Amino acid sequence: MTGHPCFMYNDEIISDHPPEDTVPIQALRYGTGCFETMRSEAGCTVPAGVPFLFDHLHRMYDAIRYLTGIPDLQAIANCPPKESWVDNVKRIKSHANLQHKLCLVRFQVWIEDQNGFYIDSEPNIHRLIEIRAFNDTGGPIDLCYVPHQTISSKSRPAQLKLSNMLHYRDAFRTARSIGAHDAILQNSDGYLAETAIANLFWYKNGTVFTPSEETNILPGITRNRLLEAFRKEGIPCSEGTYTPDALEQADVAWITNSLREITPVRSISGIFPRRDPVPNQKQESSQKDATKTKQPAAHVIKRYQHHPFLHRVYELYQQVKYSTDVQ
């Protein structure tokens, strides 16, 4: 048995028992937190303007169950129902006058318990919602290989967005330091996995390829919904283990996440592709008249029309993300 601790916070002794809303001790010590990052669109008819919001909430609540060790979250006094997050997003956007803007939405949860490594039957859940205007500048992007690896799902559930993500951050910083936009991580066996902030796709000879969950990726909401759309349309898809040369020989590649959705890949460590994926102005002009009735906005043409299949990917995703049947 140990005595009561005394705490100093930012050079000031605050109390023998720190206020939990100021110093979430267990969250600081062990990283007992989870988060979700999304986009909210003006005029979007899905809940709070956030595509697949309840997919995100389901995953976040699975993370809370994992972090607390409590299967029935209704037993936790201050764990709110999922619907309350929808209402709070609407309230914040109205308060900040963001109803008519594209926004980044981030849910952050910290778990505070009294027993450290042991399961606490009455943990305290801290919640933070961040919403701000977001400028989606789009792609295409340059990727690079880095030595960082995904962490085995034997050590922690890879499918949850937990606060312990320093390997992603370090991989991203490494890529930025050498002039790339994002990093490609492999698993411990050398197979392609994901990027630091997104899932990886490519298309070759009529088939879509993406690394499987066996490579310890974080399978994103956009990734999963896009795969569903491909299969519904009868587009061949392969989830598996692939070496880098499979990606480098692709016809076209792109990455997906919930914030930027679909972003084409321009190059990978200077190897891929063999051609410029962004059409020049003359090409865009000559194609515009022939497809005027079917074309989306100009920035979409620039990002996706350079390869016919990637344009189709974008259109399929737009259809599914605005469907209330999947919300």
Q: Are residues 23 and 87 in the same domain?
A: yes
| Two tokens, residue 45 | 């008819």
- 74, 103, 133 — which closes off a domain? 133
Structure-token match 């206020």, residue found: 19
What is the pLDDT, as a whole number, of residue 241?
A: 99
- The phi and psi torsions of 283 (rounded to 5 degrees) equal -65, -45
What is the pLDDT, as a whole number, of residue 139?
A: 74
CATH of the domain at 52: 3.30.470.10
- Does the residue 11 lie in any domain? no
What is the pLDDT, as a whole number, of residue 29?
A: 78
- Does the residue 176 lie in any domain? yes
Q: Are residues 233 and 128 in the same domain?
A: no
Contact 249, 279 (CB under 8 A): no
- 74, 104, 133 — which closes off a domain? 133
What is the pLDDT, as a whole number, of residue 327?
A: 58
What is the pLDDT, as a whole number, of residue 276?
A: 46
Tell me how far the alpha carbon of residue 240 is from its chain's centroid: 20
Range of the domain at 230: 141-275+286-321
- Does the residue 62 lie in any domain? yes
- Does the residue 280 lie in any domain? no
- 133, 159, 189 — which closes off a domain? 133
Indicate if the alpha-carbon torsion angle 184, 187, 188, 191 is positive or negative.
negative
Q: Are residues 24 and 45 in the same domain?
A: yes
What is the secondary structure of 292-327 as a DSSP string? Answer: TTT---HHHHHHHTTSHHHHHHHHHHHHHHT-GGG-
Report the predicted TM-score, pTM, of the whole model to 2 decimal places. Answer: 0.85
Q: Which helix (H) or strand (E) holds 260?
A: none
- Does the residue 6 lie in any domain? no
Q: Are residues 145 and 47 in the same domain?
A: no
Interatomic CA distance for residues 146 and 267, integer angstroms: 14
Interatomic CA distance for residues 110 and 38, integer angstroms: 18
Interatomic CA distance for residues 137 and 135, integer angstroms: 6
Q: Are residues 231 and 93 in the same domain?
A: no
Q: Are residues 119 and 171 in the same domain?
A: no
Q: Are residues 35 and 88 in the same domain?
A: yes
Averages of pLDDT over each 10 residues, the chain, 327 residues: 57 58 67 95 90 97 95 88 94 92 95 81 90 87 97 96 96 97 98 99 97 98 98 98 96 96 93 55 39 40 67 93 69
205: CB partners within 8 A, 6+ apart: 251
- Does the residue 35 lie in any domain? yes
